Structure 1
Amino acid sequence: MGGKDFSGEKDEIFCGVFDGHGPLGHKVSCHVRDALPSKLSYLLKEPEMVDYYSSSSDEDEDADHVDSSHNEANTQNSFSSFSLWKKCFVKAFKEMDRELYLDSTVDSFCSGSTAVTVLKKGEHLIIANLGDSRAVLCTRNQKNQLVPVQLTVDLKPNLPGEAERIRSYNGRVFAREEEPDVYRLWMADEDCPGLAMSRAFGDFCLKNFGLSSTPKVSYRELAEEDEFVVLATDGVWDVLSNKEVIKIVASAGKRSMAAKLLVRRASRAWKFQHPTAKADDCAAICLFFKSSSSVVRNSWPKMTLRRTDIVSQKKLKAAPARHAGHETTKTKPQTTAEASSEEEWNALKGVSRVNSIVKLPRFSSVKSGKKTSRDQNGQAI
């Protein structure tokens, strides 16, 4: 944690959730959780180290996205450094993927991890998403009611832009008969591995077939009516709507329990909605923008935990915000993670998703992957 904020600047907070998949997804996601923050922090301190990728196809593919309440002109006026910050995120994610590729201790040929991260700098919020986890903001409308604003897009293989990129690399996108609503990414000449997302760290068996490690980066200027943001894995969003999620978080008696309450509710929803299926892994982190004393309570009834609500759930990678300061400061945001406040953020354990991939390739070894793997610019890595 240390005595300074994320990259040494005041009121600068970073948090993220990393969801592993594949045989060694838990190791991949733990490695990303431990290494990515320091890479990003270093780049933010040394902006001149960032390459601008001016001719990169990823630039066209991932044009800056600004929340619907802010057009691009306003973004540039209010936060002229956003373009540079986006480059820092893209470079940090690329370096992270390359490190995984070169690390012989972590077999990431058929295993990988998603990432949804948020960096808050004063009133500026930068969101970077890789995969199918999600970030949702809770704000208030003109009637002072809490409403959700989805900040990220679930990056699935059947999205038009994602499918076009995948097919340009000779990858295939289709859904199996037994799960017609789940589109997956497949190799060109073999029905494997069937990855249920279009972007991820690792999974080098698919990097030649359109899988990207470039995050979608977006920006939002925070307003007085914005209350908090929730980052969570797809296991949460598969069974709870955006509105249900912010309602659960807002109803928590203590902010330190908000993310834990959300995970328990999601686990309970899995058992109710899919009684014969194994629940997907659920992890969440909540970043509050205001001190608890300044929050106006909503009119929703307070939810209470009953014994039947408590479902054993293995921990995923939720990296709490890295900052320091006095908790009594009114403007200081507060964060909660699935782990208790006594646990160090790097002590959280991880597990792999259940149905992210269908079948491993016949040559599933890191050594085989290193001969052909490349990034989305067609460069060997």
Structure 2
Amino acid sequence: YAHVSQRGYYPEDLYKCNQDAIKVLPSFGGDDARFFAGVFDGHGAEGDACSHFVRDNVEERLKAAMQEEPADFERAYTEAFAEINERMHEQDFDDSMSGTTAITATFHDSEVSIANIGDSRAIIGQRQGKRLMAFSLSVDQTPYRRDERERVKASGAVVMSCDQEIDNGGDPPRVWAEGKSFPGCAFTRSIGDSFAEAIGVNAEPEVLCKQLTPADKFLVLASDGVWEFLTNQTVADMICNFDDPLEACRAVVAEAYRLWLQFEIRTDDITVFIAFI
């Protein structure tokens, strides 16, 4: 396995720090049978503090929750991130308009469990005959999803793009407080964002568990900086060209960065983790 994180290019803020963070635990909680990896994509003025807080606390809180709920990983994961979210609200940094998404994978023997909060993504590359196919192991939690859109609206959110309409091009639909010009989240779940929490933007993960098979060749976790201009299948096709996961990571990040500069005047922070299975 390997991972690469590239700081974004912002012409108006050339020294803006990388707000992405990554955590890799080859022996989660001291258990050699468990491997954990997570990518955390911070946003807002304190986004780096938010992503680093989750990175630095996820092992302790998830381990404690799994001891309390050893037979129910999904419940343990939900409780762990609910507590991390509450603890973030109590920190010295201000998370009222800042937060982080989270995409994590926990391997245990031949099973992998993916937990997602926000719009980072997990995919798996699976061999099917002569072709290697990409399959998503998470579904982005954004206002494009009707279920997520209706959920936040039921909590009082107004969902509109900056042009005041939902469209499939240009500015994405965002989550606003009624009658306000904030928070403007392009995602519907996040850790932190205490202001947006009041209108339904919560830290509850969606969890998917998959039994690994010999057809499963690699797993990818990546922040939305990768997925903005690259499809799941394009990323999988690129990885197939490499025997070294680090070289694969470098290639994916470089191509994502190139496409950002082709279509935008800036780039997002770009982070990818690849595990060969």
**TM-score of Structure 1 vs Structure 2, range by shorter chain:** 0.7 to 0.9
2:110 is aligned to: 123
| Structure 2 contact 123–137 (Cα < 8 Å) conserved | yes
SS at match of 2:29: coil
Structure 1 position 158, deviation (Å): 3.3
1:18 to 28, 37, 40: 40
Distance 1:35 1:258 in 2: 29
SS at match of 2:194: coil
Q: In terms of mean alpha carbon deviation, does 251-260 or 279-288 score higher?
A: 251-260
Structure 1 position 253, deviation (Å): 4.7
| Structure 2 contact 26–36 (Cα < 8 Å) conserved | no
Q: In terms of mean alpha carbon deviation, does 168-177 or 84-93 score higher?
A: 168-177
| Structure 2 contact 122–138 (Cα < 8 Å) conserved | yes
Which amino acid in 1 is paired with 2:140?
D
1:372 is aligned to: none
2:88 is aligned to: 100
1:162 is aligned to: 148
| Structure 2 contact 68–76 (Cα < 8 Å) conserved | no
1:223 is aligned to: 213
| Structure 1 contact 136–149 (Cα < 8 Å) conserved | yes
Structure 1 residues not aligned, in runs of 5+ = 49-80, 290-381
Answer yes or no: is 1:36 the counterpart of 2:23: no
Answer yes or no: is 1:247 the counterpart of 2:234: no
Structure 1 position 34, deviation (Å): 1.1
SS at match of 1:16: strand
Distance 2:147 2:272 in 1: 28
| Structure 1 contact 252–261 (Cα < 8 Å) conserved | no
Taking a change above 3 Å as real, the CA distance of residues 113 and 139 of structure 1, as seen in their structure-2 partners, is same
2:265 is aligned to: 277
Answer yes or no: is 1:113 the counterpart of 2:135: no
Distance 1:243 1:113 in 2: 26
Distance 1:159 1:138 in 2: 24
1:150 to 127, 136, 147: 136
Structure 1 position 287, deviation (Å): 1.5
TM-score, structure 1 normalization: 0.63
Structure 1 position 11, deviation (Å): 2.5
SS at match of 2:270: coil
Answer yes or no: is 1:139 the counterpart of 2:126: yes
| Structure 1 contact 7–45 (Cα < 8 Å) conserved | no
SS at match of 1:7: helix
Distance 2:100 2:231 in 1: 23
| Structure 1 contact 39–92 (Cα < 8 Å) conserved | yes
| Structure 1 contact 239–269 (Cα < 8 Å) conserved | yes
Offset from partner CA, 1:5-46 (integer Å, 9 cap, x none): 213333210001000111110111111111112211222234
2:204 to 214, 221, 229: 214
Largest Rg, 1 or 2 = 1
Which amino acid in 2 is paired with 1:131?
G
Structure 2 residues not aligned, in runs of 5+ = 1-22
Count the aligned residue pairs: 251
1:1-381 pair list within 5 angstroms: 5-47=27-69, 81=71, 84-103=72-91, 105-141=92-128, 143-177=129-163, 180-181=167-168, 182-272=172-262, 274=263, 276-289=264-277
Structure 1 position 247, deviation (Å): 1.7
Of all paired residues, the percent bearing the same amino acid is 30
- Higher strand proportion: 2
Taking a change above 3 Å as real, the CA distance of residues 6 and 205 of structure 1, as seen in their structure-2 partners, is same
SS at match of 1:209: coil
Distance 1:34 1:252 in 2: 31
Distance 2:122 2:250 in 1: 17
Which amino acid in 2 is paired with 1:226?
D
1:373 is aligned to: none
Which amino acid in 1 is paired with 2:76?
C
Distance 2:195 2:73 in 1: 30
Which amino acid in 1 is paired with 2:107?
K
1:360 is aligned to: none
Distance 1:258 1:11 in 2: 25
Which amino acid in 2 is paired with 1:158?
Y
Structure 1 position 4, deviation (Å): 7.7
SS at match of 1:177: coil
Structure 1 position 261, deviation (Å): 2.2
Offset from partner CA, 1:177-203 (integer Å, 9 cap, x none): 299430100012212121100000111
Distance 1:4 1:45 in 2: 19
Distance 1:47 1:177 in 2: 45
